[in-house]
Amino acid sequence: MAALAVVLPLAAQHGRYLNESRNPAIGKPEAIAAGAKLFSGSCGGCHGPDGGGGARGPNLVQRALWHPLADEAIFQAIRKGIPGTDMPPTALEDEQTWNLVAFIHNLTGPASEQKVPGDAAAGKQVYASAGCGGCHAIRGEGGRLAPDLSNIGGSRPLASIRESILEPSKDLFYLGNEGVSVTLKDGRKLEGVAKNRSNYSLQLIDRKGDLHLLRMNDVKEMTVRANSMMPGDYGKRLTKEQLRDLLAYLAGQTIR
Ligand code: HEC
Ligand code: HEC
C-alpha cells in the first residue's frame, strides 16, 4: 500500500474565510475526524455524506465557493439552525459543534489540505489510461485544450474536483470554458474551447492545442455547445476504486 502524502497544516492558510477562526479545532486532524463522525450521523442525511448535497440540504462545498462563510457563522448555523428552512438547531456542546465546523472547514478547503483516501500512484496510472493528459497539462506535460491541472489540489476542494470529473457540464458557463464551433467569413471552420470571449474578440483553443485569436468582426457564425468538451461518462468508465485513486492523485497536485 503506497502512503499518500497529504499536507495537513495546523491552521489552514487559504484566505477564503472571512475571518480565520482562532478556535483550536480548526485544522486539527482529531477534531476533523470527530466532526466527520458526527456529520455522517446527524447531517449527512440532508447534506450528503461528504457535504456534496442531498435531497433535503444544499451542497455545503459549492456554497462555500460562491458565498464564503466565516467559521463563527457556520458555528451559529449549526447551533441555532436557520429559521424558516429545514436546517434544524442542535443541542450539541461547544466542542462537538467546533468539531463539526472543523470538518466543514476542511471539506471546503483545497483538496491538498484534506485527508484523501486512495493510492495516488495508482491514480496517476488511471489519469494516463483515461486519456486526461490529451486535453489537460500538469507541469507543462499534456494538452492545452483544457484547464491546466498543476495546482488543482492546491486550489479546489475535493468535492468540486470530483464534480468536475463526474459532471463536467455542470456550472460550465461560469468557468469560461465553453466549447464553440466557429465559421469565419473567409469560410474557415474552427472548433474548440473558448477563452475570454467578448463582443469584440475570442480566443479559441483547438483540439491540437493551438490558440486562435479571432476578431468577432471576422466571425460569420458561432455555435456554443450546451455541454462540455470533456467526456461526460467517466462516472461509468471508472470503477469506484479508480475514481478514488484518481482523486488522490489530483489532490496531490499543488505548485507549492
Ligand atoms: C433536515 C435536513 C438538514 C439537516 C439534518 C441538517 N441540515 Fe444543514 N441545512 C439544511 C438546509 C435546507 C440548509 C439551507 C438553509 C437555507 O436555505 O439557507 C442548511 C444549511 C446549512 C448550513 C449553512 C450553509 C450556508 O451557506 O449558509 C450549514 C453550515 C449546515 N447546514 C450544516 C449542517 C450541519 C453541520 C448539520 C448537522 C449537525 C446539518 N446542517 C443538518 C438542511 C439540513
Ligand atoms: C476531450 C478533452 C478532455 C478530456 C479527455 C478530459 N477533460 Fe477535463 N476538462 C476539459 C475541459 C474543456 C474542461 C473545462 C471545463 C469543462 O468543460 O467542464 C475540463 C475541466 C476539468 C476539470 C476542472 C478544472 C478547473 O480548473 O475547473 C478537472 C478537474 C478535469 N477536467 C479533470 C479531468 C480528468 C481527471 C480527466 C480524465 C479522467 C479529464 N479531465 C479528461 C476537457 C477534457
Q: How far away, in angstroms, is 42 Cα from ligand 1 center?
A: 11
Q: Give the separation between CA 236 and CA 220, rounded to whole angstroms.
A: 38
What atom in ligand 1 is closest to the CA of residue 45?
Answer: 5
At 101 the pLDDT is: 94
Which residues does 111 contact at the CB level (< 8 Å), separation at least 6? 152, 153, 156, 157, 158, 161, 247, 250, 251
| Res 172: pLDDT | 63
Any atom of ligand 1 within 6 Å of the Cβ of 58? yes
Chunked in runs of 10, what are the mean pLDDT values of the chain (256 residues)? 41 43 83 94 90 86 75 93 95 96 89 89 98 96 94 90 87 72 95 88 91 95 88 95 97 92
Identify whether the C-beta of residue 173 lies closer than 8 Å to the C-beta of residue 161: no
Is the beta carbon of 168 within 6 A of some atom in ligand 2? yes
CB-count exposure of residue 184 (10 Å: 0-12, 13-18, 19+)? middle
Q: Which atom of ligand 2 is nearest to the CA of 131?
A: 5
- Provide the pLDDT for residue 50: 77
Angle, vertex CA 247, rays to CA 163 and CA 102, nearest 5: 80
All cell numbers assigned to 198: 467578448
Q: What is the pLDDT of residue 66?
A: 67
Predicted local distance difference test score (pLDDT) of residue 170: 77
Pairwise CA distance, residues 203 & 144, whole Å: 13
